[in-house]
């Protein structure tokens, strides 16, 4: 996407254009996106500075990152426990719609209380533009990293798939489909248990029937 000045950039690429309208991005829209982005970036913690405080949390190290968010190991000084804090990445958030999607992930995970799903503890606000998600810390890292370091036996693989299937089935029964299930979005707990995380692309179905009259179970099948 290009502005009228002919310059391209990441903020322009992230602006939503309604279907059926020409793909023109105006300078005032770009400036609005840049202002939102600057407000978010100014509120975020200083990169690679540890430890540093974010309210009641002490950020200790960076655990990983995705397309739009970073995850940090943090210590909750009020409850005396380690947690994983998920924050937006710099130069990624440019609109309130992205904030809504970020919050939606936390709310979905909070609804789905299951041993095979990473628990969400809390949502905290840094500024009116940005929030963070406090989640259960899984010290074993991601399944993706585990598979790179060691091969699973057949028995281990069967047990792992069974555990994941139970967690995903639980989500389906509550009307949610993950839509991005992969080893990088599966975490390993302290005792080797696997837990699904990153519900940002999850799709929620109606409790009984869709607009077409198809039942929820039929849709999931």
CB 110 within 8 A of CB 188: no
CB 190 within 8 A of CB 139: yes
CB 116 within 8 A of CB 166: yes
For this structure, is 180 an active site residue? yes
Helix (H, G, I), strand (E, B) or coil at 10: helix
Taking CA atoms, 65 is separated from 131, 200, 208, 213, in Å, by: 16, 14, 36, 40
Residue 103 zone, left/alpha/beta (φ > 0; ψ -120 to 50; rest): alpha
Residues 6+ apart with CB under 8 A from 166: 114, 116
Residues 6+ apart with CB under 8 A from 180: 198, 200, 201, 202
Count of beta carbons in the 10 Å neighbourhood of residue 18: 5
User: What tokens does 10 get?
Assistant: 């990441």
| Options 76, 180, 198, 221, the catalytic residue | 180
Residue 152 zone, left/alpha/beta (φ > 0; ψ -120 to 50; rest): beta
Q: Which residues are catalytic?
A: 180
């Amino acid at each position: 996407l290009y502005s009228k000045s002919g310059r391209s950039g990441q903020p322009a690429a992230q602006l939503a254009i309604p279907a059926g309208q020409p793909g023109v991005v105006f300078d005032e829209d770009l400036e609005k996106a840049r202002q939102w982005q600057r407000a978010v970036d100014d509120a975020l913690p200083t990169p690679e500075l540890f430890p540093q405080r974010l309210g009641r949390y002490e950020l200790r190290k960076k655990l990983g990152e995705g397309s739009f968010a970073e995850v940090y190991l943090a210590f909750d000084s009020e409850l005396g426990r380690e947690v994983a804090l998920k924050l937006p990445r710099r130069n990624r958030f440019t609109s309130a719609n992205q904030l809504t999607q970020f919050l939606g992930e936390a709310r979905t995970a909070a609804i789905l209380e299951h041993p095979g799903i990473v628990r969400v503890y809390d949502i905290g606000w840094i500024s009116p533009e940005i929030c963070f998600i406090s989640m259960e810390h899984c010290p074993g890292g991601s399944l993706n990293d585990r598979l790179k370091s060691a091969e699973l036996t057949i028995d281990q693989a069967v047990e792992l798939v069974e555990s994941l299937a139970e967690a995903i089935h639980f989500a389906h029964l509550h009307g949610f489909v993950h839509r991005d299930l992969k080893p990088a979005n599966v975490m390993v707990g302290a005792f080797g248990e696997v837990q699904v995380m990153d519900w940002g692309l999850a799709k929620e179905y109606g409790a009984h029937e869709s607009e077409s009259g198809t039942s929820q179970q039929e849709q999931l099948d």
